[in-house]
Structure formats: C-alpha cells, structure tokens
Amino acid sequence: MYNKIKKIALLTGGGDCPGLNAVIRGVTKTAILKYGYEVIGYTFGYRGLYNNQAVQLTLERVSGILHKGGTILYSSNKDNLFDYAVEDGGKVIKKDVSDIAIENLKKSNIDVLVVIGGDGTLTSARDFARKGVKIIGVPKTIDNDLPATDVTFGFNTAIDVATEALDRLHTTAESHHRIMILEVMGRNAGWIALESGIAGAADVILIPEIPYDINKIVNKIRERENLGKLFSIIVVAEGAKPKYGDVVVSKIVKDSPDPIRLGGIGNKLAADLEELVKNHEVRCTVLGHIQRGGNASTYDRILSTRYGVKAVEMINDGEFGRMVCLAGNKISSESLENVIGKTRNVDVDGELIRVGRSIGVSFGD
C-alpha cells in the first residue's frame, strides 16, 4: 500500500467519446469513498494543467454523469505541453513548457495525475512519467487502436451507432435498389468498419488493412444482382484506400499534434462506382462525429467504471507510469513505455475477417 497519497488530479485529452464521464466518476468515487483522497480535475486537458485551471471533484459533482457522453472536464486535442504554442516577442513559437505544468502540480500538492486519453494524450503522459511525475493512464478512443488493451472505452458505443445507421440505410437501399455507402471513423485502423459492418449485415467492408480493388466491389454487386438482390450496403473506414492508391485527406490542421484529418473516401468511392455500375444510384452517408456523441452504451459504462476503479487501485499500490488495460475479461495494466508509438490494427488473417468472408462479405480484395 502506497500510504503517502493525499491528493490526485484528473484530466481528459484528445477527442471526446462516450465513457469519459464514467471514468471520472469511477476514479472520483473510489478515491474518496475507499481511500479518502482529495480529487481535482484540470479543465481542457493539458491546457488546464499549463494554466493551472482546475475544479474540485466531489461526490456531488460526479453524481448523475455515468451515462452522459462528452466530459465534464472538457477536452482539447491541440495542447502538447512538450511542443506548445506560446507568444514570445510578439511571435508565436513552439516550446517545451512541461516544467511549468510540473510546477503547477507541485504548487497544488498533487501526488498523482490520472490522464484519460488516446495515443497523443498518453504519449505526453509517458513523457511526464519520464520526468518523475507519478502518472496513471486510462486508454480512450473510439478507434480501438491502442495496443496492450483488448478494448478501449468509447468503441462499443461507436459501433452501436454505426450499426444502427446501417440498419436504417438498409431500408432505403432495398426500397430504391440503391448502393448505399456508410463512411465511418477509425483513422488507420478498421475496427469500427469491421465490427459494425458484420453486425449491420454489410455486403462490402473496406478497411485500411486491406487495400481494395474497385473491380472486386463491382463483382460483389453483380453477384448480388444475379441472386435477385438489387441493392448493396458498403461500409468504408475513413482510412481505407484502393490498391496502388492513397488515403483521402479532408484537411490539414497545422496546430494539431495529429494534423492529418482523414475523410472523403466514401464520396470518392461513390463517384467511382457510379462510373462502373450504371444501373444503380449510389449514395454516401458520412457518419462523422455522431459516432463520438450521445450516451454511453451499457458495455462502455461498465468498462469505464472498471478502468476508473483500477486506476485508483494502482495509485494505492504505487504502480505509476502505467496504463490500465483489458486483457481477456481481466483488468490489468501495462507500462506506458510499451504502449506509445504502436497501433493495434485489424489482423487480416484473424477470426473476424474469417467470419466475414465465411458469410459472404467482400473486403474488396
């Protein structure tokens, strides 16, 4: 038991997703009720840590937030304190201001910082750990692409939303004999497209891990026509790309640690298919940020609470510089050093791909 802990802090970084509030609640209630810790939360992620802007997290403040999407601490995905934009001599320059953040932790008597976020947020957490800050990481991303954990919270809610969208697109597709394309998020990993595609009975699933041949997609559409199925459903991950082609970039956000914003592959695919399949209308729906919003699913509420409780247990046990993770059905932890700089991609020879192929799904290859 690590008896020196009296006060801990939380922050949420990166894109919002369902389950963040459940983690905040789980950490706060466990810290107060089980261990008697004082808890504060920095607002707007690392920016709040730099500006020393925080709120007291009490049992009353976290009451009623378990199901709610978003984060009561707010978030930012542009504030890397190791490469932070500051004004110097009338010019905006990037500099390392991490020591200011560390000084703020000391001034506020913070013993441990719990960081809830994805790859970028946890990279900074690792860097703070290297500088001696007692850090616990909690993995968050709807993309489900972080290594060392089987599932990240937010993912289950995202695939529920995408699956419902596919269910709704089916009725329009069948009524009008259309080809309906749903573009989903996921960055360079195809988990959202793969799992929602299987659950939503998609005929074609396109993921970044398997570059597609558009002629194979046309073949699938023709095959369905020969069976009397005059419509097709395609789900495409935003990071999918054709063979010998590249991803579609929607824009570049220069002041972001992750400046490349993917998006547009669905509309490109629709235009390409319309040239090749003349007897069908092709329509594309881009699901976008709808996947990130709304109330958390039952699964994500439970997983987030488990992560929050485990984070505080790790604090009590003195297990710092580590990330909470799910291995099988067991909550455990992994060193942040082993998490950062890696991506958990879909195994193209894995079970889910085999399941898809077995039931007739085309992956465009």
Q: Residues 16, 79, 127, 143: which is the catalytic one?
A: 143
DSSP assignments along 83-146, one per residue = SEEEEETTEEEEE--HHHHHHHHHHTT--EEEEEESHHHHHHHHHHHHTT--EEEEEB-TT---
- φ, ψ of residue 213 in degrees (nearest 5): -110, 115
Report the alpha-carbon distance of residue 330 to residue 334 in Å, rounded: 13
Report the alpha-carbon distance of residue 273 to residue 229 in Å, rounded: 17
Q: Is 263 within 8 Å of 183 (Cβ atoms)?
A: yes
Distance from chain centroid for Cα 274: 32
- Give the angle 91-96-98 at the CA atoms, nearest 5°: 130
Distance from chain centroid for Cα 18: 10
Percent of residues in the chain assigned helix, strand, coil, to nearest 5: 35, 20, 40
Strand partners, 84: 95
Report the alpha-carbon distance of residue 43 to residue 104 in Å, rounded: 14
Q: Is 57 within 8 Å of 39 (Cβ atoms)?
A: yes
Residue 143 annotated to the active site: yes
| The CA-based dihedral angle spanning residues 82, 84, 86, 89, taken in that order and rounded to the nearest 10 degrees | 60
The tokens for 365 are 């290859």
Residue 279 CB contacts under 8 Å (≥ 6 apart), including other chains? none
- φ, ψ of residue 93 in degrees (nearest 5): -125, 160
Q: Catalytic amino acids?
A: 143
